[in-house]
Structure 1
């Protein structure tokens, strides 16, 4: 895709939204989820995804605090709590839609204490 064009068959067979840019956090979670049969070093995740090591380490630490990844130094793996992972994904998508509808500044005004607890 980096050339600015893709094969028409790839286009036709893609999922809706399949070409949207993903955040680094989304890319890391998807990578770990797609490779849930292995645990990975942060440096390897960074290399595979073409991200900076420091950014990957910081993101993994935040994901660990939220219970979305597991860590046994020096390895990282996706949580085995699939319901928690799905809930976090649904919440993330909800926030994206609200941000699109209301804008980031307006969304902050609408935030409630319950929303903070869920995160």
Structure 2
């Protein structure tokens, strides 16, 4: 039972054609599955972006905690500035007192009089 070469060639072409058709159908099914998966992922990304935007807006909105935090920061900054100013004024006053003590001539006690002690001591 020898088959002629032309018939074998025709059978091979039919088998090859069926194989290509099967591959084509498999590829279509795979593409469809991938398109569905991409669409699902895009929807998830959009949902996550919406959640992120809402969270950012909520964080920017003035909440009681944010208002208290800002007020506390402003109060601390104000106190720091005031304390720094008082310290500078105290240092300036100390320098002026020291300079005034240096610039005043020492009072010489007249004979028979005793030098008077400063009133603050």
- When normalised by structure 2's length, the TM-score is 0.20
Q: When you count helix as a share of all residues, which structure comes out higher?
A: 2
Q: When you count strand as a share of all residues, which structure comes out higher?
A: 1
Larger Rg: 2
